[in-house]
Structure 1
Amino acid sequence: MENKKPDNIVYSENEGYNANLLPYATSVGAPAIRVDDLVSWKSRGITTVNKEFEIKFSELKSQYESLIQEFEWNELVYNSKFSFEPVVGEIYHLYKSIDGSDFLSLIGPQEWNKEHIGTFKLNSDKKWIHIS
């Protein structure tokens, strides 16, 4: 009977009675030791971060598509034929000629019976802004 110890007493064969040396509570009245649920915390964190990345990616994708479209319009206008120096702030119209080449004109689409491609305005950075 001497070898049997009560359940609520901390005893080690090597250390003896060492409850005061342990980093955790050992008495029956001590609060329960619970393992934090890190899986759900990680899952919530991953979901939140993924949503943020998805939003940022869609913003960047939208900006990229807009930039590509601006580039294509500018390339189209700069590769077209025109025999004048465009003035910053003025509105110009891009047309397709009978031979298939593009040309820039001051004449509006209502005043002329040509195939209208688009209306543009030249800004101070020499970039063509597509109006319609």
Structure 2
Amino acid sequence: MVQAYNFLASWQLFPEKGTYELGDRPRSGIYKIEAIENERLLAISMNWVTLENHAFESHYTILPDAQEHHFDNPEVAETIKATFIDGITFETVFYRDHQQVLYILHEIMPNGYLRVTQQGITPQLKPYTNIEFYHKQMSVLPYSASVSGAVIKPTEEGVIRHKALTAMEEQTNMQLEQIRKQIELLALQAQEIQKRKELSLLIYGAKLNFTPVIGQTYYVYEKADGSHLLSLVSPKEWGGGAGPYKRFVAMVKLLADHTWMEMQ
């Protein structure tokens, strides 16, 4: 099931990013999509915890062949049809009496997040739209049940396990975020060193009529023939221009490690 590849994962809910016109905003949740029965079917399971710490779970299966199939809970729908629009989008439609009662659109966003849009009808026969955002995560909650059946409230043990897993997710995500920031800082430092190296190579290839002093500020000019020159004379002293040279390149300072840094 090539088109399903991007969706096969456990996804962790961003509760603060979603919009809910029906139902309460959850505090946390897991959305899992996996292939079963020789990858013919997709199993979709959902686990979430409300702000009051009530844990719920549901699941259903789909055959994404763009055909209507019998649905096993007539209280929700009689038939279901799932269609892959492309490798990053698929939709599921639930029908009762040949009328659409629920539409779910799954989309992989450019940033890698999963957006799930649900459109249906409230018990008061008013249309609603719920939109949720998820990101891929490593751990999987040990729940499974059915959205095609009644919502199930688990045992106290299940709630305790979910709270522990949620705390673990928060801690590991915080640690991973710290590591990510450290990596970004190291990347910035590496870019700065690379920039100083390139500037140093240019200067050491330039014409030097004196011995540079560590900590002193100098000025780099490009000559008409494309070569470079290190000078003590600033553009201001040339009247704001490059003087006899083609152009002013940079104001630089020699550091203690004998690399050159561009001054702003």
Name the TM tier (shorter chain).
0.5 to 0.7
| Cα distance in 2 between the residues matched to 1:125 and 1:54 | 29
The amino acid across from 1:56 in the alignment is Q
The amino acid across from 1:94 in the alignment is V
Q: Per the alignment, do residues 89 and 64 of structure 1 end up closer, same or farther by CA in structure 2, a change over 3 Å counting?
A: closer
Structure having the higher helix fraction is 1
Partner of residue 248, structure 2: 116
> Equivalent of 2:172, from 13, 27, 46?
46
Matched, 1:34 2:167: no
Q: State the TM-score, normalized to the length of structure 2.
A: 0.34
Partner of residue 4, structure 1: none
Partner of residue 63, structure 1: 189
Query: What is the SS of the residue equivalent to 1:94?
Result: strand
> Equivalent of 1:79, from 205, 212, 229?
205
Q: Which has the larger radius of gyration?
A: 1
Partner of residue 103, structure 1: 229
Alpha-carbon deviation of 1:45?
Answer: 2.7
| Cα distance in 2 between the residues matched to 1:85 and 1:124 | 14
Q: Per the alignment, do residues 125 and 50 of structure 1 end up closer, same or farther by CA in structure 2, a change over 3 Å counting?
A: closer
The amino acid across from 1:107 in the alignment is V
Query: What is the SS of the residue equivalent to 1:34?
Result: helix
Structure 1: gaps spanning 5 or more residues: 1-32
Structure having the higher strand fraction is 2
| Cα distance in 2 between the residues matched to 1:124 and 1:57 | 26
Residues 68-87 of structure 1, C-alpha deviations (whole Å, 9 max, x = no match): 11111111111111122222
Q: Per the alignment, do residues 41 and 125 of structure 1 end up closer, same or farther by CA in structure 2, a change over 3 Å counting?
A: closer
Partner of residue 115, structure 2: none
Residues 38-97 of structure 1, C-alpha deviations (whole Å, 9 max, x = no match): 432332233222211211111111111111111111111111111222223332110000
Query: What is the SS of the residue equivalent to 1:88?
Result: coil
Residues 20-49 of structure 1, C-alpha deviations (whole Å, 9 max, x = no match): xxxxxxxxxxxxx83641432332233222
| Cα distance in 2 between the residues matched to 1:131 and 1:96 | 17
| Cα distance in 2 between the residues matched to 1:82 and 1:128 | 14
Contact 2:252/2:263, CA 8 A, preserved across alignment: yes
Q: Tell me how many residue pairs correspond in the alignment.
A: 101
| Cα distance in 2 between the residues matched to 1:95 and 1:104 | 7
